[in-house]
Amino acid sequence: MNRTKSILAVTGLTLIAIASRADDSGLSTNTVTSAPYHPFTISGDVGTTGVGGGANWRFSDHLGIGGSIEYFPFNYTPTIAGIDFDSHLKLLSETATLNLYPWKNHSIHVSVGALFNQNHLTGSKTGTVDLNGTPYTGTVNMDVKQQPVDPYLSIGGNLYLDKKHHASLGAEVGVFYTGEPRVNVSAPGAPPGDVQSAQNEVVHYARKAEFWPVLKLSLNYSF
C-alpha cells in the first residue's frame, strides 16, 4: 500500500510539473482557442480515495469550483490488539472545493474545501482469542467510522493530449483531516475492562489515518 501511494505521488507531482512547464513554454490553451482555458471539465479518476469521477467549472481567470465522488470496497486482515480481524473497508466520499488558479494561462490550481466522508471499516473474529491477556471464546466485533465532514486541501494540474486542449491527464496531490475516529468494539460476555482495552487499541490503529493522503490520477475532457 505504501509503495502504491509513493508511485502515485511521484507520478502526480511529475504530471503537475510537466503541465506547468508546458504552460510556460507557450503550449497553454490560449494559443489554440480564443480563451486561455475551457471553463468546464469532466473527469474519471483513481487514487487513494477510491475510483470515481468529478466535474469542475472555472468561471473566471483565477477562480473555479469542483466536485467529485469516489468509491472502492475491499477486504483485508489487519492485526489489532493481537486479533486477526476479518475486515471490510468501504471507501466512499464526495468533495466540494473552491479552486484557486494563480495564473490565468495555467491549469495548475489549489483546491480548498470539504470532503464528505462515509469511509467505514468493519471487522470480526470468531473463535478463541487473547483479549487483553484473557482467553475469550466468542465473537469480537469492531466498527470504525471517521468524522463525516473533513477539511480538504490539494494542488493539481493537467497535461493536455491534443492541440485544442480538450483531452488531458490530470494529477492531484493533497490531504484531508479525518478527525477523531468513532470506534465501537463488542465482545458479548467478555469482561468490560478487556473490551475497553481492545477498543483503545482499535482507536490507536484508526488514528493512523487521521491525515489521509490525496493522490489522484485522472483522465479529463474540457469544453
CA 119/CA 117 separation, integer angstroms: 6
pLDDT score of 163? 86
C-alpha cell at 18: 510537466
- Topology (CATH level 3) of domain 2-222: Porin (2.40.160)
- List the domain boundaries for the chain: 2-222
If DSSP codes are grouped into helix, strand and coil, which group holds residue 218?
Answer: strand
pLDDT tens column, 140-191: 999 999 999 999 999 999 999 998 889 999 999 999 999 999 999 999 999 9
Per the CB < 8 A criterion, the answer to whether 131 and 4 are in contact is no
Cα angle: 204, vertex 5, 181; to 5 degrees: 25
- Length of the chain in residues, anyone? 223
Per the CB < 8 A criterion, the answer to whether 152 and 97 are in contact is yes
The helix, strand and coil proportions of the chain, stated in percent and rounded to the nearest 5, come to 20, 55, 25
pLDDT-based confidence at 33, cuts 50/70/90? very low
Q: Tell me the residue type at 26.
A: G
Which of 25-39, 145-159, 200-214 is predicted least confidently? 25-39
2 vs 132, which has greater pLDDT?
132
CA 97/CA 109 separation, integer angstroms: 11
Stated pTM of the model? 0.84
